[in-house]
Amino acid sequence: MRPLTEAEIRASFVNCTKGEASRARLPRDLAELDWAGLDFLGWREPGAPDRGYLVAEFEGRTVGVALRLAPQRPGAGRGGAMCSICLTAHPASGVALMTARRAGRGAAVEEYASAGEYFCSDLACPLYVRGRKRVAAGGARMTESLDAEQRAARMRANLAGFLGRVVR
């Protein structure tokens, strides 16, 4: 993706208030990120374990989404799990259910007001897909016939599906 500045990222959020967007803690060293290798930028908020963010190009504009981590269900956390965006298999703790308030639905009934998806819990999907980051030990090994570029295309399509649910 195209390199973004802090101001562009803060202005891109579609599903939080201006105050929340200005208070969000962004990744440090934005200028030093390898933007060309990022299909989207995702991060967890330091010091706020239930919050995450992602910023992506969607339908010709930059869209930022604030995410909340759903509380873990009892009995969860065992075995393996798969990110539904990049389809990377992790140990269960490597995947988290994250929900986004849908844009423009402030007072709607809760179940219609948010969109949820299982993400890599560090929101580093592009790094896993492109082999820049390795899954923690314990994840199921999956043999994939797709190469990194095809997996990245599939990840972008899955993310676009999620963003469509948030934005519309």
In the chain, the DSSP E strands lie at 41-44, 51-58, 61-69, 80-82, 89-91, 95-101, 114-120
Of the candidates 9, 24, 65, 86, which one interacts with Zn ion according to CB under 5 A?
86
- The answer to whether residue 95 forms part of the interface with Zn ion (CB under 5 A) is no
> Please, are residues 56 and 41 in contact by the beta-carbon 8 Å criterion?
yes
CA–CA dist 101, 98 (Å, integer): 10
**CB of 21 or CB of 85, closer to Zn ion:** 85
Map tokens 């930059």 to a residue.
Answer: 62
CA–CA dist 130, 113 (Å, integer): 33
**CB of 77 or CB of 104, closer to Zn ion:** 77
- The answer to whether residue 120 forms part of the interface with Zn ion (CB under 5 A) is yes
Question: Which residues does 72 contact at the CB level (< 8 Å), separation at least 6?
Answer: none
Of the candidates 100, 125, 163, 167, which one interacts with Zn ion according to CB under 5 A?
125
Q: Which stretch binds Zn ion (CB under 5 A): 21-29, 44-52, 101-109, 113-121?
A: 113-121
Measured from each CB, the residue nearest to Zn ion is 83
- The answer to whether residue 129 forms part of the interface with Zn ion (CB under 5 A) is no
Of the candidates 81, 83, 135, 167, which one interacts with Zn ion according to CB under 5 A?
83
**Shortest CB 83 distance to Zn ion, Å:** 3
**Shortest CB 109 distance to Zn ion, Å:** 29
**Shortest CB 123 distance to Zn ion, Å:** 8
**Shortest CB 90 distance to Zn ion, Å:** 8
8-state DSSP, 92: G
8-state DSSP, 59: T
CA–CA dist 94, 88 (Å, integer): 10
Positions that interact with Zn ion (CB under 5 A): 83, 85-86, 88, 120, 125
